[in-house]
Structure 1
Amino acid sequence: MACGSRGQRRNDGPTRDRDAVSRRSAPCQRAGSGGDQRQGAGTTSVVSNPGRSGECSGDGGSARRGCVGPAHHRSACPRVPVVVVAQKQAGSPLLAPDEPAPFELLEVDGPRPLVLACDHASNRVPRSLHGLGLNGDSLTAHIAWDIGAGAVTRLLSERLQASAVLANYSRLVIDLNRDLNDPSAFPAISDGVLIAANLDLSVTAKAERTRALFEAYHDALRGVIKAQTTTERTPVLICLHSFTPYVHGVWRPWQVGILWHDDPRLAVPLMTALREAGDLIVGDNEPYSGRHSADFTVDHHAETLGLAYAGIEIRQDLIDTESGQQRMADRLAAVLEVVLQDERLFRPFAG
C-alpha cells in the first residue's frame, strides 16, 4: 500500500548495517555460479544474480554479461544486480539464526543515482511468532504483503540498473511504511481479519520488532541513499507497492497510481508519460494519497533531504503472475528511462 508522505522523521535507529550494505566490492565472478563471496569474517555476503550466464575477463577489456566486481573490472560489463545479504543482529530473539535477514539488498553501480524500495515485498513471518495466529489463506492474501510488488522491484532493478532494498518480512509483523506511533504499524485488524498475536502487544515485543526489522530495513535504505549522494548529484527514490482490485466490495478502476506530496518533478512527468498510450487509467494520489499523515518511507528518506521521489502503486491483478510482472516492469522501465533523463531530478528540491 501507500508509499508515504507526511510522517514524523525518525533518526534514532542504530547504524550497525550502514557500512555493510553500502559495499560494492564483490570480486569479478561468473554470475549464477552458486558461490557466496564473503567480505570479511562475520560481515556481509555478496551473491551474484542467479540465473545469469557469462563471465568477465577481469581486465576491463572483453567483459561479458553477468560480470560483477570492482569498478575497474566492470568498465565494459553490463551492471547486473548483486544480492547483498546483511548479517542479522546478534542475539535477536525474534529471528532464528537460519532465518532470512530483515531485508534483501540489490546493489548496482548504475548510470544514475537511483534507489528502489519495496516496504511490503514479503509475507514471511518469523517462526517465533507462530504465523501470528493466522491461517495460510490470510498470510497469502493482500493484507500480509503487496502481491507482485517485490517481483516488479527486482525486475526494475535489473532493467534500470538501480539499487533496491526489499523487506523480507510481512507488514503484519510490523509495517515498515508507518510511523511507529500509528496503531497500524502493528495492526490488530486488517481488512476485517483479526491479527490475534498483535492484540495487546507489549512495549517489549514492539521494541524487538522495531529493532530487528524496522530499524534494520531503514538503516539499509539510508545507507544506499547515502552511498549514492555526492556534492554534484542526489539520488531519486522510487517506492513500489501494489493494491487489491476491490476494497469493501468496491472496484478500483486505476491500474497504476502515482503518489506524491509537494515535489512534482518525478510524479507529474511520470503520470503524463504513463497516460500517453491511452490504455492505462493512472491515479493521481489514487487509490492512496502521498499526503497520508502516518506514512513513513518517503517522508524519512526523500522529503526531508529534498530528493526527487514517487510512489508507484500497481493493481494486483496485473502483477499476480510472472508474465504480468514482466509486462509491467517493461512498461515502467521504458517510461522511467525517458523521464529520468531530466538532470533536475538529481538535485535537491528547491520548492
Structure 2
Amino acid sequence: MTQAYEQIDGGGLDLLIVADHASAHVPANIDLGINPALLHEHIAVDIGVAEVSRSLAEQLGATAILGGVSRLVIDLNREEDAPGLLPVMSDGHAIPGNRDADLNDRMMRFHHPYHHRVAQLLDAMTSPFILSVHSFTPKLASDPDQQRPWDIGVLYNQDDRAARIAIPLLEAAGLKVGDQLPYAGTLLNATMNRHAEANGIPYLGVEMRQDLVGDAEGQARFAAILGPVALACRRALT
C-alpha cells in the first residue's frame, strides 16, 4: 500500500472495483485544522465503501483499488482543475488547513499516483469492466430539508449501458433505486469519465446510502446484492 491507494488482489477476473473515497486517513504531516471527530463523518469518507469493496473483491475474485486518503486531503473524484479538488468547506464545515495548502504537492503525492494505478490495472485487462463504489449521506447538515430516501443510486454520464441493466436487477433485489440520484453522474463522475467513458470501458457506478452500510450486516447485504449485478452487467457488455 502507498499513501495514495490500497490495492486488494482478490483474483484475476477482468473487473476492477474503484473506491475513490474509501479512506478517512490524513497523513501525519498534513493538518486540516478540523475536529478529528469529523473524520468519521461523510464529509471525510464514504462510510461503508471500504468494507463493501473488500467483500466484493473476495466474492468476485476481482481487484479493488481504494483511495488512500480522506477526500478532505484531496478529492480523487474530481478533475485536476475542478474547484472542489482541495475543499475549504464541506457541508457547512470549514477546512482551514486547506486554505494555504500546496495543491501541487497533494496532486503529486496522492491524485496522480492513484489515477496512474487505476489506468495501469485497466491496461492489464483484456476485457475490463469497472464497478465504481461510493456512498451518500441520507441527510445533509447544510440542506436538512432535502429528502434522500433511496437505498442506492446509480450514476453515469453519457454511457448508461450498465445502468439500464443494473437498475431493474437492484429493484428486484428489494432496493429503492435512484436513477442519477442523489445527484447526477453528468455532474460528478470525474474518475469514471477519465478511465471508463474516455476509453469506451463499460462501468457501473453506484452510491449506497450510508445508514444502510454503516455496520457489518448492511455491508454484507449490499455486497451480496451488488456482486451478481456487477457480473450481469459485465457479461452483457464485455
Question: By the TM > 0.5 criterion, same fold?
Answer: yes
Q: TM-score, normalised by structure 1?
A: 0.65
Q: 2:128 aligns with which of 235, 243, 246?
A: 235
**Matched-pair contact (CA < 8 Å) for 1:122–1:168:** yes
Q: Deviations over 1:181-200 (max 9, x none)?
A: 11210000000000001114
- The residue number in structure 2 matching 1:296 is 190
The residue that corresponds to 2:227 in the other structure is 333
Distance 1:339 1:301 in 2: 17
Q: Give CA-to-partner distance per residue, 1:273-325, whole Å, 9 cap, x none.
A: 11124x32101110121101x64200110111101012110000011011110
SS at match of 2:161: coil
Q: Greater helix percent: which structure?
A: 2
Whole-Å Cα distance in 2 between the matches of residues 210 and 288 of structure 1?
Answer: 26
Match among 146, 149, 156 for residue 260 of structure 1? 156
**1:275 aligned partner, one-letter code:** E
Note if contact 2:89-2:95 (Cα within 8 Å) is conserved in structure 1: yes
Which runs of 5 or more residues in structure 2 are unaligned? none
Aligned to 1:46: none
Identity fraction in percent: 39
**One-letter identity of the residue aligned with 2:175:** L
Is 1:173 the counterpart of 2:81 in the alignment? no
Cα deviation for residue 264 of structure 1 reads 2.5
For the 8 Å contact 2:204–2:230, the answer to whether it is kept is no
Residue 222 of structure 1: SS of its match in structure 2?
helix
Contact 1:146 1:243 in 2 (8 A): yes
1:189 corresponds to 2:89: yes
TM-score where L is the length of structure 2:
0.94
Aligned to 1:147: 47
1:129 aligns with 2:30: yes
- Aligned to 1:175, the other structure's residue is in SS state coil
Report 1:213-292 matches (<5 A): 213-229=110-126, 234-247=127-140, 248-249=143-144, 250-277=146-173, 279-292=174-187
One-letter code aligned to 2:120: G
Q: CA separation in 2, counterparts of 1:106 and 1:141?
A: 24
Indicate if the aligned counterparts of 1:256 and 1:313 stay in contact, CA closer than 8 A: yes
| 1:209 aligned partner, one-letter code | R
Aligned-partner SS, 2:208: strand
Match of 2:132, as an amino acid? Answer: C
Contact map agreement 2:76 2:191 (CA 8 A) in 1: yes
Is the 1:179–1:295 Cα contact (8 Å) retained in structure 2?
no
Residue segments in structure 1 that go unaligned for 5+ positions in a row:
1-84, 87-100, 347-351
Output the amino acid matched with 2:129: V
Q: 1:339 offset after TM fit, Å?
A: 3.5
CA distance in 2, matches of 1:338, 1:174: 33
Does the Cα contact within 8 Å between 2:10 and 2:60 map onto a contact in 1? no
Counterpart contact for 2:136–2:210, Cα < 8 Å: yes
- The answer on 1:310 being equivalent to 2:204 is yes
The 8 Å contact of residues 17 and 53 in structure 2, kept in 1 or not, is answered as yes
Name the count of aligned residue pairs. Answer: 235
Q: 1:239, 1:336 → 2: CA distance?
A: 10
| Alignment partners' CA distance in 2, 1:209 and 1:340 | 34
Question: Residue 332 of structure 1: CA displacement?
Answer: 1.1
